[in-house]
Chain A
Amino acid sequence: MAALPLFTEAVRAGFPSPAQGYMEDPLDLNRLCIRQEAATFLLRVEGDSMIDAGIYPGDILVVDRSLEALHGDIVVAAVGGEFTVKELALKPSPRLLPRNPRYAPILPEEGGWELFGVATFALHTLRGGSTGSCR
């Protein structure tokens, strides 16, 4: 039996698509927000201690545990058995800084804290008040 050539693209009569050969993957928010999928967790923000950093109650935080926390990073830490989001200051000495003047900084000696991960994005909806609307 004679072999016939097989075309992988359909051959159609008519004007060819000018976009053919210029296709790229569509934009993907996961690729933008998530660097290490296995180490990335989502948390729901409660409270207003970070409001001046643009983190509002109801927002969803993207937290990457694979990142090394640096001075000035927004981090999630466990303090007194609860998670809290704060700015990490390492200089001159380690402390967790709220970004709302109504709250006081947290010093390590206050019961100790343990880093959970580095917050990389805060997802805040502009409709329906808070990100809670996409619950």
Chain B
Amino acid sequence: MFALVDCNSFYASCERVFRPDLRHAPVVVLSNNDGCVVAGSAEAKALGIRTGVPLFQVRELIRKHGVAVFSSNYTLYGDLSRRVMATLQSLVPTVEVYSIDEAFLDLSMVPEQQLQALGEQLRERVERWVGVPVCVGVAPTKTLAKLANHYAKRRGSGVEVWCAPHDWRDSLAQTPPGDIWGVGRRLAARLADLGVNNGADLAALDYAWVRRHFSVVQARLVRELNGEPCLTLELQPPPRQQIIYSRSFGQAVVSLPPLRQAVNDYTARAAEKMRGEGMLAGRISVWLRTAPMGKPQQLWPDSFSTGLPQASADTRELARLAIQLLERLWKPGLHYGKVGVMLTELCTAEHAQGGLFEANQARQGEKLMTVMDQINRSGKGRVWLAGRGMKAGEQCLWSMRRAHLSPAYTTRLSDLPRVG
């Protein structure tokens, strides 16, 4: 048996943990640059504010109903997510962190008659310990557990336990194929052409036939819908292929210096993340996009990449190459709206091909980078390469618009919640 635990309106719930005044109020969270609504509390959804809608389209609604608006605070969401996962682990040791707000749990050791009680205990504990409400779906396969969770949310039951086919038969018959985990838009369209209108129709298909006409992945999906587990917990994430850091600017940028600063900053962030996972990069790419506003602009080529002589995780080396790529891409007179940096050909330090003479230099860079990462993670302040510019990120021309950012309540001493 598997459980899928999924946080309710996670970003909005995180914003509420330290804002008791918003406990029952409509709350929305905006995308990078405060462009669109990416999450909303149930109260916000009830007002008709949908996820993905541009902020300007719902401004009037937000003003009229006094909806609380927040910029994405990933520092806060990341810390609360870590706490949710640790809390789940205090009851069930085997947890696959599936996304920032979802986890699969292995319940194979739990007797069937205790599943409901455990589901409720998980729900209560996460809400009490972390302050974030969750729903729990329990079923013999991951695909069914995901669907059980969907219904636990929709029906407001909070916990849905499906042990045998008669437990999920009705729900499956009510489910459009597109709502099932692993059914993408294209597959849903193909299934509709075949007269597969709901999950029950899909489950009734013949495995061998599906395997022949679709693929082994879809055949597995059909088996999973029949309660036959084909997917196991992925406790070891597959080795990462690439690290991307890309952001749209708060406003269009024409001149090269702010673009240099942005590339410097993005490279540093990507490299920091890479070092956190103990990896080195063998190749770096930079791409540049024009801003969508104004007259149409063409940009060609829109990206360049270069291999490193020796795989490295040194921000200085990577930033130097990234700036070179940027300077080749940039053309005067164009309005730029977005730049991105990508690190690829990743390898672990043990597998890196060493140069004959660079060894000493690499070791020195490693120490410097370690110190830099320690300072940047301590919450006491940040250090960066001078090329990023001397102003704090929030004030730069190219930086994200985050006008409604909440404090880093749990990770920064200066931002601790206040208690009277």
Please give the residue numbers on chain A whose beta carbons come within 8 Å of chain B beta carbons, in ascending order: 36-39, 41-47, 49, 60-61, 65-66, 76, 78, 81-85, 114, 116, 134-135
Contact = CB atoms under 8 A, between A and B. Distances in A.
Contact of A38 (B20, B86, B420): B86
A33 to B, nearest CB: 15
A84 to B, nearest CB: 5
Contacts of A114: 20, 23
B129 interface: yes
A66 B409 CA distance: 19
Interface of B: 18, 20-23, 82-84, 86-87, 90, 128-131, 409-410, 413-414, 416-420
A61 B20 contact: no
A134 B90 CA distance: 32
B129 A39 contact: yes
Summarize B's interface: helix, strand, loop or mixed: helix
Residue among A38, A39, A81, A82 having the largest count of chain B Cβ atoms under 10 Å: A38
Nearest to B25: A81
A82 B417 contact: no
Summarize A's interface: helix, strand, loop or mixed: strand
Contact of A43 (B87, B128, B131, B419): B419
Nearest to A43: B419
B417 to A, nearest CB: 5
A113 to B, nearest CB: 9
A105 to B, nearest CB: 15
B86 A37 contact: yes
Contact of A81 (B21, B86, B416, B417): B21
Contacts of B410: 41-42
Contacts of A83: 18, 20, 417-420
B87 A38 contact: yes
Given A38-B129, A41-B410, A61 B419 contact: yes
A41 B132 CA distance: 14
Given A78-B23, A82-B21, A38 B418 contact: no
Given A36-B129, A38-B130, A65-B131, A78 B418 contact: no
